[in-house]
Each structure stands twice: as structure tokens, then as C-alpha cells.
């Protein structure tokens, strides 16, 4: 998908890019090869090690290389259940973007593809993911080959999600639907259990988790919570609420300020507030898990909105820097 310098009425183009189609193969394969080689080099060393293997992909432009380009057919791609969300009660910026379905909109990143565009992008994205799957298999195989697998904790996750058709949107920014704020997370290693947990966790919890798994003390001011209890017992609870923060540079919300979004999420509800805007989002997830009915202005959910606002305020207070000399007075 390319976003040329043009007027917002220009049509989105899927699967084309000024960059060579081999770029994806080069950077994904490079990360895989360097990671496997680094692991092999550590096999003879007695000291423990930490390695971050970070793939830039899957990412637009959706141009997987070689056999991965045709591995999946656009015709086989299913539309998400919320693809045709009418956005009757959605925030103004989401209504504006989806009203231009199939066209390049002025807001950076978040776009609204038509059905053809989505199917082609999804097929290409699956190909890019398959390339990464093969890369991860190579990395794990090197752990086994070098006899380090039984003494290594492996964490697989992502920095963010992608709408990818949910609610008729694609990419990210300015949207805190589940497609963007839910990310994959798999942890495997010695002394850990097996199974799937429904515990609520945050990316900020990764640091505390790694410290505990490595037998290293935490540090003053850490806002994370170790996930180890849930890794050993899937029934263990960790958090009742999550805070999601998004700050951007470009005013894609037309709020007159650099966009700031704050979301509080519980098992039963999600509320999002936007700086300098008089609208927001409120979803009763127990009754509306697909987030199709924004209840922000509904008198029937005024109590829920107040409760979520109180939770948001408490969480923002809890995230303040607790150091004795915070940087803003140092």
C-alpha cells in the first residue's frame, strides 16, 4: 500500500511500492540470520545473555517476496465481522475516514480500504507473516542445535496491533479498538506452565516479568507487574484495569493540538478520551464485545462512564514519576 503525495481523493493502491519487492526478504532474512548466528556464538560462553530479535515486519507496503507473495489468495480472505460497521455513533474522525472508503484520506496511517483492497492486502500480509514464522522457526532450531533451548526463556510479542479490516479500517493510529490494542504474547521457558490465560497484562509488564524470571531484583519506580504468577498458573489474576496511551505528532483528529488519547480497559468495558475534543468512546464489552455501539452520550450508561472516568483518573495518578527528584524538577 502506498500513500503518494496527493490530494485525499486519490485512490489507495495495494501491493505497489517504489521500494524493491526484495526489501522485505532482505530485512526479515537479515534479522533471522544475524539472530541465529548470535545465538550460536553464545553457546560456548558461560555467562547468561539477553537477546532482542526485532522484526520490522509485517508492515506496509504489503509486498512479501518470492513464493510468499502468492502463498495466499485474496479470494480466500474472509472479511472481518465488523468490516461494514456503519459508524453511526463513532467519533467524528472515524466517521470521516470510513466515509472515504477506498480513497486516500488526509489522516496519516489509519485508512479505510474497500473490499478488493482489503483482500489483496490481507493475502499479502499473511505471506509476510509466514516469512516471519519461518524465520522464528530457524531461530528456535538454533537454540535446540546449540543445546540452549532448555535454559532459555522465549517471549514472542508485538509493539501494537493493526485494525486490518476491523470496523472497515486498516493500519493504526487514532483508534483503540481491540484490533490495535490487543497484541500476541507467548512466553515459554524452564519452570513455566502450559496453557492459555485470560489475565489482563500490559506491555509495561514485560520488564518486570523478565527480571523475575532471571532472578534479578526490581527497581524503584517500576510501573510494571510480573506476569510470572499467570505463567505458572493460568487462573491467576494480575490486573483489573489497563491504561493505553497514544501521543501523535500530526493532528489527524483536527483537535487543534498534537493528538493525545487515553484509554482505560477492563474486562467489561472500554473508554477512550481525546484531548481538546468533546467526544469520546464508551463500549459495554459484556453486551457488545465487537465494539459496535458507542455509548458515550447514552444516558443509560452515564454511571458506567463516570466509573470508567474515575478509574482513568486513578491510573493516570498511579503513572506519575515516584522518584524523589523527578526529571521535571531536577
pLDDT of residue 1: 31
End position of a domain, from candidates 149, 171, 199 = 199
Beta strand spans in 158-216 (E): 185-188
pLDDT of residue 12: 53
pLDDT of residue 322: 76
Is position 211 within any domain?
no
Cell matching residue 161: 496491533
Same domain, 73 and 3: yes
Same domain, 259 and 182: no
* 9 band by pLDDT with thresholds 50, 70 and 90: very low
* 6 vs 137, residue with greater confidence: 137
Same domain, 249 and 193: no
233-287 pLDDT, tens digit per residue, is 999 989 999 999 999 988 888 888 888 999 999 999 999 999 999 899 999 999 9
pLDDT of residue 291: 98
pLDDT of residue 25: 60
Same domain, 7 and 146: yes
pLDDT of residue 215: 92
Is position 326 within any domain?
no
Largest Cα–Cα distance in the chain? Answer: 66
What is the arithmetic mean of pLDDT over 124-148? Answer: 96
* 19 vs 13, residue with greater confidence: 13
pLDDT of residue 23: 57
Same domain, 120 and 192: yes
Measuring CA to CA, which residue among 232, 178, 238 is closest to residue 202? 238
pLDDT of residue 330: 52
* 72 band by pLDDT with thresholds 50, 70 and 90: very high
Instruction: Look at the chain and report how many structural domains it folds into.
Output: 2
pLDDT of residue 6: 31
Same domain, 256 and 186: no
Same domain, 182 and 260: no
Please give the angle made by the CA atoms of 52, 59 and 261, to the nearest 5 degrees.
85
What is the arithmetic mean of pLDDT over 24-38? Answer: 89
Instruction: Sort 304 into a burial class: Cβ within 10 Å, 0-12 / 13-18 / 19+.
Output: middle
Please give the angle made by the CA atoms of 12, 96 and 255, to the nearest 5 degrees.
115
End position of a domain, from candidates 143, 167, 199 = 199
Same domain, 149 and 250: no
Per the prediction, the chain carries an average pLDDT of: 89
* 45 vs 294, residue with greater confidence: 294
Same domain, 167 and 291: no
User: What does the alpha-carbon distance between residue 36 and residue 39 come to, in Å, rounded to a whole number?
Assistant: 5
137-153 pLDDT, tens digit per residue, is 999 999 999 999 999 99
17: pLDDT strictly greater than 50: no
Give the domain extent around 80.
1-199
Is position 3 within any domain?
yes
79: pLDDT strictly greater than 90: yes
164-210 pLDDT, tens digit per residue, is 999 999 999 999 999 999 999 999 998 888 899 999 999 999 999 99
Same domain, 250 and 159: no
Same domain, 155 and 87: yes
Alpha-carbon dihedral sign for residues 148, 149, 150, 156:
positive
Q: CATH no. for residue 314?
A: 3.30.1120
Angle between helices 115-145 and 23-42 (to 10 degrees): 20
Is position 225 within any domain?
no
In sequence order, the 6+-apart residues with CB closer than 8 A to the CB of 26 are none
pLDDT of residue 324: 72
End position of a domain, from candidates 168, 199, 230 = 199
Q: CATH no. for residue 181?
A: 3.40.720.10
User: What does the alpha-carbon distance between residue 275 and residue 258 come to, in Å, rounded to a whole number?
Assistant: 9
Is position 210 within any domain?
no
Amino acid at each position: 500500500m502506498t500513500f503518494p503525495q496527493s490530494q485525499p481523493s486519490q485512490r489507495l493502491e495495494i501491493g505497489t511500492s517504489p521500494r524493491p519487492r526484495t526489501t522485505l526478504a532482505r530485512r526479515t532474512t537479515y534479522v533471522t540470520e544475524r539472530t541465529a548466528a548470535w545465538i550460536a556464538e553464545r553457546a560456548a560462553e558461560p555467562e547468561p545473555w539477553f537477546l532482542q530479535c526485532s522484526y520490522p515486519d509485517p508492515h506496509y507496503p504489503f509486498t512479501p517476496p518470492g513464493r510468499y507473495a502468492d502463498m495466499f489468495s485474496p479470494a480466500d480472505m474472509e472479511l472481518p465481522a465488523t468490516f461494514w460497521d456503519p459508524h453511526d455513533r463513532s467519533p467524528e474522525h472515524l466517521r470521516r475516514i470510513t466515509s472515504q472508503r477506498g480513497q486516500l484520506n488526509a489522516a496519516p496511517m489509519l485508512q479505510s480500504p474497500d473490499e478488493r483492497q482489503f483482500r489483496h492486502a490481507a493475502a499479502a500480509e499473511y505471506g509476510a507473516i509466514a516469512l516471519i514464522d519461518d524465520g522464528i522457526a530457524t531461530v528456535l532450531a538454533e537454540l535446540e542445535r546449540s543445546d540452549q533451548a532448555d535454559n532459555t526463556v522465549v517471549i514472542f510479542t508485538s509493539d501494537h496491533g493493526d485494525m486490518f479490516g476491523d470496523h472497515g479500517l486498516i493500519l493504526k493510529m487514532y483508534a483503540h479498538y481491540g484490533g490495535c490494542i490487543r497484541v500476541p504474547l507467548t512466553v515459554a521457558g524452564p519452570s513455566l506452565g502450559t496453557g492459555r490465560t485470560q489475565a489482563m497484562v500490559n506491555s509495561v509488564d514485560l520488564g518486570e516479568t523478565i527480571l523475575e524470571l532471571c532472578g534479578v531484583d526490581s527497581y524503584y519506580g517500576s510501573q510494571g507487574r510480573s506476569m510470572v504468577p499467570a505463567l505458572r498458573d493460568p487462573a491467576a489474576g494480575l490486573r483489573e484495569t489497563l491504561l493505553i496511551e497514544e501521543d501523535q505528532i500530526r493532528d489527524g483528529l483536527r483537535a487543534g493540538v498534537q493528538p493525545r488519547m487515553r484509554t482505560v480497559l477492563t474486562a467489561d468495558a472500554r473508554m477512550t478520551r481525546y484531548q481538546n475534543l468533546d467526544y469520546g468512546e464508551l463500549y459495554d464489552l459484556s453486551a457488545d464485545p465487537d465494539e459496535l455501539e458507542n455509548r458515550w452520550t447514552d444516558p443509560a450508561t452515564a454511571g458506567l462512564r463516570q466509573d470508567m472516568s474515575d478509574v482513568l483518573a486513578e491510573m493516570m495518578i498511579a503513572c506519575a514519576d515516584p522518584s524523589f527528584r523527578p526529571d521535571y524538577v531536577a
